[in-house]
Chain A
Amino acid sequence: AQSVTQLDSHVSVSEGTPVLLRCNYSSSYSPSLFWYVQHPNKGLQLLLKYTSAATLVKGINGFEAEFKKSETSFHLTKPSAHMSDAAEYFCVVTGGNAGNMLTFGGGTRLMVKP
């Protein structure tokens, strides 16, 4: 069994300030973890993925995430927010015999103030 908890449903930051979106996971297997972004009326786009290689994962658009097994966390960060980062972000887990069956967190809506 696996599950994902995104600790904040909404996060608001000012443009140019750091972004932190928090995610905790639970998995009976060695997990694969992903962050996806969804802009309004668009499909989901993969930001980055962790698949048991380096624990610090770099993604697109300056985002990165660190896998911490001891804390069962996979928080998403970005040093400086841009207006175009405003969107909904999903932390996702899969693993074991789940194959391509992704388990999504509830999502975090990121708002960026000018």
Chain B
Amino acid sequence: KAGVTQTPRYLIKTRGQQVTLSCSPISGHRSVSWYQQTPGQGLQFLFEYFSETQRNKGNFPGRFSGRQFSNSRSEMNVSTLELGDSALYLCASSSQAGVYNEQFFGPGTRLTVL
């Protein structure tokens, strides 16, 4: 089985622009979660989607949004980029939404905001 794939792997944007990141989960997985990793704040949960519905949302401003398609692929969008949005964005998939589920992480998209 192919693992979780994220595109693009690297991205450079300027302040004020918007960006869309994509995540394809493992085949058969219906839950996709997004995390932001920065040196200062560590790994923080952004949101989780399951069967095209947002199940949980972390403490991030409304500039951060996401969606999930019927094939379970997910996108996250960040509008009006700020310098502090520079981070590694990780996507994780699991087979279902619940407590005891192993999540499989993708390699991440490294976003640099200039």
Chain A hits for B108, CB < 8 A: 43
What total of chain A residues lie within 8 Å of the partner, measured CB to CB? 24
Which of B35, B43, B97, B103 has the most chain A CB within a 10 Å cutoff? Answer: B43
Chain B hits for A107, CB < 8 A: 42-43
Residue contact B105 to A100, C-beta cutoff 8 Å: no
Size class of the B contact interface (CB-based, 8 Å): 20 to 34
Chain A hits for B58, CB < 8 A: 101
Query: Which of B45, B100, B105 touches A101 (beta carbons < 8 Å)?
Result: B45
Q: Say yes or no: is A82 at the interface (Cβ < 8 Å to chain B).
A: no
A43-B4, A44-B105 known; A99-B42 Cβ under 8 A: no
Q: A residues near B, CB below 8 A?
A: 32, 36, 41-46, 49, 51, 90, 94-96, 98-107
Q: B residues near A, CB below 8 A?
A: 4, 31, 33, 35, 42-45, 48, 50, 55-56, 58, 90, 92, 94, 97-108
Pick 20 A–B contacts, CB within 8 A, sort by A: A41-B107, A43-B105, A43-B108, A46-B104, A49-B102, A94-B99, A99-B97, A99-B98, A99-B99, A100-B31, A100-B92, A100-B101, A101-B33, A101-B48, A101-B56, A102-B33, A102-B45, A102-B103, A106-B42, A107-B42
